[in-house]
Structure 1
Amino acid sequence: MGITQLRRALDDVFDQAVLYHAFTSYMRDYEVIVYATAAPSTGIQPMNLRYLFKFCVEAETRTALSSETWRESLDERLTDPEIGPDLDGYVWAVRWQPLYPGAEVITDSPRAQNWAERVGIDFHEVRIEMNGHNLTLIFSELEVTELSIGYAPYVVTEDN
């Protein structure tokens, strides 16, 4: 995927809701699950999209919250969807975060170039900023797919 296509794919979900982000169960690729909506007048139905950052060699997750917000958000009740919204602090229980200020492709990234030279394929660097977390990913390819209702990124069973 070229830089222009990569930017377009990331711009398509600007200010949408990130529901989940982590390495896949097989631990090579990094996925970001986005709930995308449009204005009701468009007639476009909401959908869940899986942004799969393939061959992800670096994934950094940092808090986007200040230390003061963290200090105010330590109460376990903030993880409870019934109680949390009535308390002061960052409400973890909402279980999503806006993709805002958004995602940015870092052109001429020394980190991506270093990996490209070492592995022999193209790599990209993307920074994704949300209101709870900031991600930096170094990866080779991006695959975007629509998910079916009820998608679970990793379900523990007796077989695995």
Structure 2
Amino acid sequence: MNVADLQNALDDVFDQALIYHAYTDYMRDYEMIIYVTTDPRSGIAPVYLRYLFRYCVEAHARTAIHPEQWRESLDDRLLADPRTHDLEGYTWGARCQWLYPGAEITPDSTRAKEWTEALGIDFHQVRFGTNDGHNTTLVFSDLQVTELPAGYAPFVVKDDTNAT
């Protein structure tokens, strides 16, 4: 993937809602599920997009929440829907993080260069900043963006209780 195409894909989700991020269940690729909306007057329906960072060799997540706010956000009631309580602190139950200030490609990344040399394919480093939740940095080779069908679940739990 070239840098211009990568930047265009990242620009498309600036200030949108990141609702899930983790390694896939097969543990090679990293996925971000993003809820993309526009002004309702535009008539464009919101969509869920899956950003699949292929060959993700590094993923680092760090809180974007100040320690003082963490201290105020330890109550488990903050895990619930924010409409069900009137507590102070970070409401984990909002279940999304806003991609603001958004994604930034790290030009001349030492880590990406090391992986490019080691594997013989191009790697990129991108930092995702949020206004709350977590900031995430990924080192990966390729990005695939797809619109998700209704009901998509990142992990499928298999029932092996009847296996012989």
Write the mapping of 1:117-132 to structure 2, written as runs, cut at 5 A. 117-130=117-130, 131-132=132-133
Deviation at 1:110, TM superposition (A): 0.7
Residue-by-residue CA offset, 1:101-138 (whole Å, 9 max, x unaligned): 10001111111000111111110000001121000000
Displacement of 1:56: 0.1
Q: Secondary structure at the match of 2:128?
A: strand
Superposed displacement of residue 82, structure 1: 5.8
Query: Partners in 2 of 1:149 and 1:66 — Cα distance?
Result: 35
1:57 matched residue in structure 2: 57
Pairing 1:25-36 to 2, within 5 Å after superposition: 25-36=25-36
**TM superposition outliers: structure 1 runs of 4+ over 3 Å:** 82-85
> RMSD across aligned C-alpha pairs, in angstroms?
1.4
Kept in 2: contact 1:85–1:91 (CA 8 A): no
Alignment CA distance shift 1:55-1:87 (3 Å): same
Q: Displacement of 1:83 after TM fit? A: 6.2
The residue aligned with 1:70 is 70
What is the DSSP-based 3-state SS (H/G/I as helix, E as strand, rest coil) of the residue aligned with 1:137? strand
User: Taking structure 1 as the reference length, what is the TM-score of the superposition?
Assistant: 0.96
Q: Distance in 2 between matches of 1:3 and 1:116?
A: 14
User: Match of 2:112, SS?
Assistant: helix
Deviation at 1:44, TM superposition (A): 1.1
Contact 1:78 1:84 (C-alpha < 8 Å) held by counterparts: no
Give % identity: 59
Q: Give the residue type in structure 2 aligned to 1:135.
A: T
Secondary structure of the corresponding residue to residue 159 of structure 2: coil
**Which of 77-86 and 35-44 deviates more?**
77-86
CA shift in 2, pair 1:25/1:87, >3 Å: same
- The number of equivalent residue pairs is 160
* Structure 1 segments unaligned to the other structure (5+ residues): none
Normalising to structure 2: TM-score of the pair?
0.94
